[in-house]
């Protein structure tokens, strides 16, 4: 059961851990606010480009665009996995790496190029037997658009050149503070979201068909919009991953702080009971010694 000194040392250790986890929770909360603002701010731009590409698709253009087709179907696929450089964020890294390993095992027999963002994911994949991968360690928890743009441009160039047949991104998609989900996104060949079926909306059918006029022509416009859309989607994936990481760390540190508080309370009660038992024993010995002298 230990003596009071041992329990007191454990109490001090638990209180120190509680202060550290509370500080980390506050830091994660502050970073989450900034990362959420960045993610929400970039989303309208991404959705607008998606909408333009969808309208161009409705106009029947882009069938021969290299970013919408596979120039070399026999080339290897490329998979980019976005994880964190640091731990202490609950099941965040483990959930992503498990989904990535499941995806990679499903590609057995196919030549796959693996690239990883985040040291934790790289270490987990290496332990799982996927040691042949490229680590991008320069992004950190504040990826800039310029760095992401260079990465996306390299994917576009390699895809058009026929070096890779497909690009997939596995990351934690951010929906809200209470909902994040691991998502496997096909970046290339690029596919615009399907237009909503009017039968599933509340908008009544009018019998008219929208006709769009493009200036410059639709093909030239699509040649400029598709690379921008690929870069915007890639940057949005990075932003969502960063927000999800901060949320996971914030939740994990709050749980650790609460558990440390409960442990400190239990240790204090145990310390008081042992101290009371020692006092009672000492009083009993004093009374017994006094009675023996009489």
What pTM value is reported for the model? 0.82
Residue 39 counted as domain residue: yes
Determine the structural domain holding residue 71 and report its residue range: 22-192+216-251
- Chain-centroid distance of CA 214 in Å reads 38
Residue 287 counted as domain residue: no
> Shortest CA distance to 81 belongs to which of 53, 44, 123?
123
- Number of domains the chain contains: 1
| Residue range 212-217: mean pLDDT, rounded | 68
Residue 5 counted as domain residue: no
Residue 234 counted as domain residue: yes
- Tell me the pLDDT tens digit for each residue of 119-173: 999 999 999 888 889 999 889 888 899 999 999 999 999 999 999 999 999 999 9
**Mean pLDDT, rounded, of the chain:** 85
Residue 26 counted as domain residue: yes
User: Which domain CATH number covers 56?
Assistant: 3.40.1380.10
- Tell me the pLDDT tens digit for each residue of 222-253: 788 889 999 999 999 999 999 999 999 999 99
Residue 201 counted as domain residue: no
């Amino acid at each position: 059961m230990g003596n009071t000194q041992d329990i007191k040392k454990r109490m001090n250790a638990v209180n120190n851990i509680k202060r550290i986890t509370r500080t980390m929770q506050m830091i994660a909360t502050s970073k989450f606010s900034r990362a959420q603002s960045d993610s929400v701010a970039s989303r309208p731009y991404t959705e607008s480009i998606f909408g333009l590409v969808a309208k161009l698709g409705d106009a029947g253009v882009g069938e021969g665009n290299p970013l919408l087709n596979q120039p070399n179907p026999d080339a290897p696929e490329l998979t980019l996995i976005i994880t964190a450089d640091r731990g202490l964020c609950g099941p965040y890294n483990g959930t992503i790496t498990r989904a990535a390993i499941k995806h990679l095992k499903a590609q057995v027999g196919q030549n796959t190029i693996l690239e990883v963002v985040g040291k934790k994911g790289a270490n987990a994949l290496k332990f799982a037997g996927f040691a042949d991968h490229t680590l991008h360690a320069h992004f950190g928890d504040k990826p800039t658009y310029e760095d992401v743009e260079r990465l996306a441009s390299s994917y576009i160039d390699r895809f058009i050149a026929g070096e890779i047949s497909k690009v997939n991104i596995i990351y934690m998609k951010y929906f809200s503070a209470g909902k994040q989900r691991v998502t496997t996104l096909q970046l290339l060949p690029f596919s615009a979201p399907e237009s909503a079926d009017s039968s599933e909306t509340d908008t009544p059918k009018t019998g008219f068909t929208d006709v769009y006029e493009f200036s410059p022509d639709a093909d030239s416009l699509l040649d400029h919009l598709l690379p921008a859309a690929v870069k915007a989607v890639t940057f949005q994936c990075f932003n969502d991953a960063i927000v999800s990481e901060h949320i996971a760390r914030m939740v994990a540190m709050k749980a650790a702080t609460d558990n440390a508080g409960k442990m400190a309370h239990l240790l204090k009660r145990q310390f008081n009971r042992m101290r009371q038992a020692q006092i009672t024993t000492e009083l009993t010995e004093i009374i017994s010694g006094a009675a023996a002298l009489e």
